[in-house]
Amino acid sequence: MMAFSLWLVGTWMMGVSLGGGGLAVSTAQAAPPKDSPAVEQARQVLLKSLARYREQAPGIEPVVLAHPSLEAIFPKQVFFVVRFRQFPVGRVPPPGLDVSNIFVVPPGQEPLRIGKSEQLQKFFQQQAQAVTEEKLARQAVTAWLVLLQELHQDGFYQFEVLEKEIAVQKQEGLKASGRSVVMRGGNGQLQVSLSFDASGKLSQASEQVQLRPGPRPICQARKLLDPDPIVRRMAEQELLYLGRSAEEYLREQRQQADPDLRQAIDRLLKRIEREDR
C-alpha cells in the first residue's frame, strides 16, 4: 500500500507537455513482424499520412503489430501502433490522435485509424473475413482482444489472451467470447463477446474493461538517494517491480543525474537484469 501511495503522489505531481510520440512495444503475443515489401510499402503509406502531425509530434513513428489471429481475420491488412508515452512525463497527442492508436493499411488504400472501441467494431463489421466456422470465431475473439489491448496499453501492461478459455456457441450464426488478463504492470482483465450472423458478419459486440494500473515510472529514480530510508526502499521496490519496462526511464534519468545517483541507478539496472533472467 505504501509503494502504491508513492506512485499516486508521483502521478499527481506529473507535468504534461506536448512532445514527440513515444512508442511502446506491443505486448500482444505477436509473431515476428514480416520483413516483406508489402509491410514496408504499408509503412511508407502510413508515414506519408502521419506527416501532417510531425510539427506538433516530431518523434512520431509507427510500430508494426503482427499476430496470427490478425493474419487470419484480416489477411490483406497491415497493422501498426502509434502511442504517445505518458510516463514519466505525459506527451499530449496532436488533435486527431489519441494516446494509443492503431492504424490499419489496406492494400492500395489510405490508412484507417482505430482509437476507440466503436471504431474497432465498425472495422470488424466492414473488413473482417466472414466468420462461419468455430475456428474463425476463436481467431476473431483473439484478434479483437489483441487490438483492444493496444487501445488500453500504456507501455507497462503485459497482457495474455487466454485462448484455451474462448467459448463458441452455435446459434443462428456463431457467438464467441473470451478474455485477456493482465500478467504484469497492474491487474484486471479485458472481456469481449462477439455475435456473427448466418453470413459470418459481426452483428453485435460487447466489452468489459476492468484494469487497475500498477506503479509507473514518475519520480522514483530521484528518490533512490532520499534521506528517508523508507522512501528509498519504496522507490527501489517499485522500479524492481517494473523490471525491464523501467530501463528506458532509468537510462534517461541517468543522463541527467549526478555521479552518486548514477551509481545508484547503475546498481539498480544490474539488479533488474540479474533478477529478470
Question: Which residue type does 78 have?
Answer: V
Dihedrals φ, ψ of 175, to 5°? -125, 130
Q: What is the dihedral of CA 201, 207, 140, 69, to 10 degrees?
A: 150
Q: How far apart are CA 257 and CA 30, in angstroms?
A: 36
Question: Residue 14's pLDDT band (boundaries 50, 70, 90)?
Answer: very low
Q: How far apart are CA 256 and CA 195, in angstroms?
A: 53
Q: How far apart are CA 129 and CA 72, in angstroms?
A: 8
Q: Compute CA 190 distance to the chain's CA centroid, rounded to the nearest angstrom.
A: 13
Mean of the per-residue pLDDT values of the chain = 86
266-276 pLDDT, tens digit each: 999 999 988 87
Question: Which residue type does 135 have?
Answer: K
Q: How far apart are CA 253 and CA 234, in angstroms?
A: 18
236-262 pLDDT, tens digit each: 999 998 888 888 889 989 999 999 999
Which cell numbers hold the place of 216? 509507473
102-119 pLDDT, tens digit each: 999 998 899 999 999 999
pTM for the whole structure: 0.80
Dihedrals φ, ψ of 127, to 5°? -120, -15
Compute how many other C-beta atoms are within 10 angstroms of the C-beta atom of residue 208.
11
Compute how many other C-beta atoms are within 10 angstroms of the C-beta atom of residue 212.
9
Q: How far apart are CA 219 and CA 7, in angstroms?
A: 8
Q: Report whether pLDDT(72) > 80.
A: yes
